[in-house]
Structure 1
């Protein structure tokens, strides 16, 4: 078993991780890593923390950011997704 998988397997399932890397952070929002990067850059999503030379996003902060995203309004239903496969 790879070391990372072994570390995660050692945590009880009732204890979620405090922080996640970029790919997992993007996956939490079901968006591409590049869109995640843009949302972090423009301030819509939180900045990462630097831990041991690695960028790690606080899971609680990501959850707070998610809850601050407004719900889609009916008047937006007709807008095109501009061919963005992540929005389909």
Structure 2
């Protein structure tokens, strides 16, 4: 696949990508991608030849867009969770 990617001009991206590329394309690990394919959140691969499987990029995009958004009430307060406590950021007591 890497040879094919080097042959294609940048204006002509591939329509079929392998498992690792598909996982990276949607922002998950290959193991998580496998689980998503298994449970139907991601499409099944196509078989352009015997023993070769690839995922259709357009099908991946469509499946990705169907994934739910994170709910606001479930979202952590990223400022509090990621930053150390800074006394200068505290509001003064009245």
Please indicate the TM-score interval, normalised by the length of the shorter structure. Answer: 0.7 to 0.9
**Bigger RCO (CA 8 Å, 6+ sep):** 1
Q: For residue 62 of structure 1, what is the aligned residue in structure 2?
A: 60
Structure 1 length as normaliser, TM-score?
A: 0.78
Residues 17-41 of structure 1: per-residue CA shift (max 9 Å, x gap): 0100000000011111111000000
Q: 2:45 aligns with which of 44, 48, 54?
A: 48
Give the greater-gyration-radius structure (CA): 2
Question: How many residues align structurally?
Answer: 75
* Structure that is richer in helix per residue: 2
- Looking at structure 2, the residues matched to 20 and 8 of structure 1 have their Cα atoms a distance apart, in angstroms, of 10
Gaps of 5+ in 1: 79-88
Structure 2 length as normaliser, TM-score?
A: 0.73
- Looking at structure 2, the residues matched to 15 and 35 of structure 1 have their Cα atoms a distance apart, in angstroms, of 28
Q: Which runs of 4+ in 1 moved over 4 A?
A: none
Gaps of 5+ in 2: 77-94
